[in-house]
Amino acid sequence: MDQLDRKIIAELRQNGRATYAELGRLVGLSASSVHERVGKLEAAGVITGYHAVVDPRTVGLGVTALVGIQPTDTAADEDVAEALGSLEEVESCYAVAGDEAFVVKVRVPTVDELEHTLGRLRRIDGVARTQTTVVLSTRFEGRPNNTGLDRGTEAGDGGA
Amino acid sequence: MDQLDRKIIAELRQNGRATYAELGRLVGLSASSVHERVGKLEAAGVITGYHAVVDPRTVGLGVTALVGIQPTDTAADEDVAEALGSLEEVESCYAVAGDEAFVVKVRVPTVDELEHTLGRLRRIDGVARTQTTVVLSTRFEGRPNNTGLDRGTEAGDGGA
DNA sequence: GGTGAAAAAATTTAGAG
DNA sequence: CTCTAAATTTTTTCACC
C-alpha cells in the first residue's frame, strides 16, 4: 500500500463510482494499472465493498435508535452477537467496553416498529437488559474522515 | 418511486458499482431507462452518494469510540453540532433524546489520539460533559437492512 | 510493478413512440 | 416513461517492458 493506493482509496471513499480512467488521471497511472491496484485492494480486504447511500427517510426508515445491550452473566458474547445480526433492523453492531456488551443501531419505519424490535432484542437468549436512545436527527453519518489517506501528498502545506 | 426504483436502489445499496446494464437486466429495463431513473433518484436526494467502504484498521484507524455529548444549559444545539462536524475524526453525529444532546462516533488511529480528540470535544463551546464508550470490535456496520426496498416484488408472485 | 493497444462492454446522448 | 441507435468512454485482457 503506497501513496498511490491511498489516493485511490481516498477518492473511492468519496466517489465509489469513479471510473478507473478517472482514478488513473488523478494519480498519474494508466487505467489498467489502477484496475489492477483496485483489484488487489479488494482482494486484500482493504476495500470491503461499494454501497449507494440512501436517505433512510425516503425509503420508509424514519426512526433510528441506539440500543445498549446488557447480557446476562452467563451469556456467550458470540451467540448474542450472532442473534443481533439475525435481526434485519439492526444496521450496525459494536462490542463495547463498559457495562453494556454491545451497542447496536436499529433503523425502523415507525416507533411502533421500534417497540417490536426492542421486544425482539430483549427476547434474545443471553440479553438481560436493553437501554434505548432514540435518535432525533442524524446530523451526518459515515463521513469519510481523514486518516492519512489523502494526506502525505501535500505534507508541507494545506491542500489547495 | 415505484417497485422498479426500489429494486434498483436495493441493488445499488449492496453493489454500488453495479452497471446500468446489469441493473437493467435485473429489473427488465434498458440501460438508458435505468440511467435516467438513477439520475432522478440522485437528484431527488433518495440516493445521496456512493462510497467505497474501507476496513478502518487497514487504513490506520484502529480505535473507535461512541461519545455522548452533554451540552451546557445555554448552548445552542446547532452551534454544537456544527463544531462537532468540524472535527474530522467525528465520523457520525446524531442528535438524541435523553440527557445527552448528541452521540458521535469518532475514529482515530490510537488511544492516544482518542484522548486528544476527547479534549477537543470538551473544549467545544457549549459542551459540558462527554461520556465515552470505547468500541472493542465492530461486529458489523452499515448493513443494508431491509426496508421494503426488496420486498413487494414477490408479494403476490415471483418478480422474475 | 508498469505500459499501450485492441476487443468487448457500458455509458451517455439523441431522437422518436 | 420507455425504447433503439449511435458516438464516446470505459473495462478488461494481453503481450510486452
Mean pLDDT of A126-138: 97
In angstroms, rounded to a whole number, what is the distance separating the alpha carbons of residues B105 and B99? 17
In angstroms, rounded to a whole number, what is the distance separating the alpha carbons of residues A101 and A81? 9
Tell me the count of A-B CB pairs closer than 8 A. 215
Q: Closest Cα partner for B59 from B25, B26, B91?
A: B91
Give me the pLDDT at residue B144, please: 78
Give me the pLDDT at residue B158, please: 31
Mean pLDDT of B92-119: 97
Is the CB of residue B46 inside 7 Å of nucleic acid strand C? no
- Kindly list the domain boundaries of chain A, sorted by start residue: 3-43, 56-135
- pLDDT band at residue B157 using 50, 70 and 90 as cut-offs: very low
In angstroms, rounded to a whole number, what is the distance separating the alpha carbons of residues A26 and B104? 32
Mean pLDDT of A71-100: 96
What fold characterizes domain B3-43?
Arc Repressor Mutant, subunit A (1.10.10)
The verdict on pTM exceeding 0.85 is yes
Beta carbons of B55 and A64 less than 8 Å apart: no
**What does pLDDT average to over chain A?**
91
Pull the grid cell for residue A102: 454491545
Collapsed DSSP state (helix, strand, coil) of residue B139: strand
Give me the pLDDT at residue A143, please: 86
Proportion of chain A above pLDDT 70, given as a percent? 91
Mean pLDDT of A94-113: 97
Beta carbons of B107 and A145 less than 8 Å apart: yes
Residue B32 exposed, middle or buried by CB count within 10 Å (0-12, 13-18, 19+): exposed
Proportion of chain B above pLDDT 70, given as a percent? 91
Beta carbons of B55 and A46 less than 8 Å apart: yes
A137 pLDDT higher than 90: yes
Which amino acid makes up residue B115?
E
Q: Which of B46, B109, B145 sits opposite A58 (nearest CB)?
A: B46
Q: To which residue does cell 503506497 refer? A: A2
Give me the pLDDT at residue A146, please: 66
- pLDDT band at residue B150 using 50, 70 and 90 as cut-offs: low
Pull the grid cell for residue A44: 486484500
Distance from CA of B47 to the nearest CA of A (A): 4
Is the CB of residue A37 inside 7 Å of nucleic acid strand C? yes
Chain segment A32-77, per-residue pLDDT in tens: 999 999 999 999 999 999 999 999 999 899 999 999 999 999 999 9
Q: What are the backbone dihedrals phi and psi of residue B15, each rounded to the nearest 5 degrees, phi first?
A: -130, 95
- Residue A114: how many other CB atoms lie within 10 Å: 20
In angstroms, rounded to a whole number, what is the distance separating the alpha carbons of residues B140 and A131? 20
Query: Which overall architecture, per CATH, does domain A56-135 show?
Result: 2-Layer Sandwich (3.30)
Q: To which residue does cell 441506539 refer? A: A66
Contacts of A108 (CB under 8 A, 6+ apart): A61, A63, A65, A89, A114, A116, A117
Q: Which residues in chain B are closer than 8 Å to A43, comparing Cβ atoms?
A: none
Residue A98 exposed, middle or buried by CB count within 10 Å (0-12, 13-18, 19+): middle
In angstroms, rounded to a whole number, what is the distance separating the alpha carbons of residues B94 and A64? 10
Give me the pLDDT at residue B156, please: 32
3-state secondary structure A13-36: HHCCCCCHHHHHHHHCCCHHHHHH
**What does pLDDT average to over chain B?**
91
